[in-house]
Amino acid sequence: MKIGSIHTESPVFLAPMAGVTDYACRILCKEMGAGVVYSEFVSADGIIRQNQKTLHLIRFQEEERPIGIQIFGNSPEVMAKAARFVADKFQPDILDINYGCPVPKVTKRGAGSAALKDLHLMDEITAAVVQSVPNLPVTVKMRAGWNSTSIVVPEAGERLEKIGVKAITLHPRTAVQSYNDKADWSLIKELKQTVSIPVIGNGDVSAPHRVAEMFEETGCDAVMVGRGALGNPWFFKDSLALLNGKSPPETRSVTERVEICRRHLDLLLEDRGERWGLNLMKKHFGWYIRGFPDAAKHRRALVTALELDEMRQELNVLEKAAEKIDTLAYV
């Protein structure tokens, strides 16, 4: 599929997730077949202040392309200035606007999904960004509306397309729902039938087979995966296998998990250094190390490791245990 002039072979994308989709995560998912990967969402205010922590969230490597940088804010002027800065300094493939985040610390500032309360402001922000980066495809990730009485799909989609947005990702829950209740995939289908630009479906894609189900039920052009990929970069490989009529493994062996943990840790160390890399890896162990005998014991040992050598040693211990666990699993 194409987003503006950007072409991607894989129709399964990695969603932007704060505190998760850093360089290490994006590389692993890209290697497993993710089509487009997205940065963590980045504050437009932080960008124009050139806050170094903020700018680090934007940096990427060439092997990550095509990559989208997602920004959020409540001011057309600030968003436009931030978009121009990102385009000039980092040259991503896609600039994405966040109209989907339901987290109060974002919405109370009028950003994220709060923009859906005022479609005129949404129009102004979007138009300012589109005009500021004429050579870069601008996309939007959005919710269905603020609450159940203010659903803005498909109207918002029509407005965004008219302004010049090149694709829309829809998470069909409201901001008030957050991640509760069931995502209403019928809204993705309705949006797809309304606009001519690509529509990317998102929400409740909890397992690889759900990717195929979303394509079938909604007719969307691509599927964006968020929480389903936590501790499971194989999600993309398995989804593509199913889409091509193949049968992926039902689960990943503990040995495979240890191998991917080592790779993830090495990437974090490369990107963030030992102190930050060590701490950041601990939350990923919570997703990788689960669902097998004594997983809690091994996970506890890994997340309480104080030094890099201790963490590596605990991975060695788990690797030895994995030989027995995996043998029993396949008897």
251-257 CB contacts, 8 Å cutoff, 24+ apart: 251/291, 253/322, 253/326, 253/329, 254/292, 254/318, 254/321, 254/322, 254/325, 254/326, 255/319, 255/322, 255/323, 255/326, 257/288, 257/289, 257/322
Tokens 């385009």 correspond to what residue?
87
State how far the alpha carbon of 58 is from the alpha carbons of 53, 135, 155, 244, in Å. Answer: 9, 19, 31, 33
Residue pair 92/133 in contact by the 8 Å Cβ criterion: no
The span from the CA of 97 to the CA of 113, in Å, is: 11
Q: Is 25 a catalytic residue?
A: no
The span from the CA of 90 to the CA of 111, in Å, is: 23
b/e 303-321 (16+ beta carbons within 10 angstroms → b): bebeeeeebeebbeebbeb
Residue pair 302/289 in contact by the 8 Å Cβ criterion: yes
Q: CA end-to-end span of the chain, whole Å? A: 42
Residue pair 30/234 in contact by the 8 Å Cβ criterion: no
Assess whether the previous peptide bond of 76 is cis (omega < 30° from 0). Answer: no
Of 25, 101, 220, 261, the catalytic one is 101
- Residues catalogued as catalytic: 101
